[in-house]
Amino acid sequence: MRLPIIKHVLNFIEENDEDWVNETIELLESITEISSLKDDELDVIGELLSNLYGTLEVNKMMKEGMDKKEAMNSFMKRVVGSIDK
């Protein structure tokens, strides 16, 4: 997860809407089904998907009343906590 990417996509959602991100996720997930993709290509797509899903989670927390900074910090703490387990 890359916080700068999450921030950028959050700004995109604020300027446009969340549906674009959901559709991008659907497209990237579809692309992963191509059998000729190399492992490093799948890794890049996986990283993009992780950041997009993370952004949606942060956006959800913001909709529930958290401010942007608090939501991002809370999400990243959860990510780091799950890695440490």
Distance in angstroms (rounded) separating the CA atoms of residues 81 and 23: 29
**Tens digits of residue pLDDT in 9-41:** 999 999 999 999 999 999 999 999 999 999 999
**Tens digits of residue pLDDT in 52-78:** 999 999 999 999 999 999 999 999 888
Place of tokens 């913001």: 62
DSSP calls for 47-63 = HHHHHHHHHHHHHHHHH
**Number of C-alpha atoms within 13 angstroms, CB side, residue 19?**
2
Measuring CA to CA, which residue among 25, 69, 60 is closest to residue 45?
A: 25
pTM score, whole prediction: 0.89
pLDDT at 84: 59
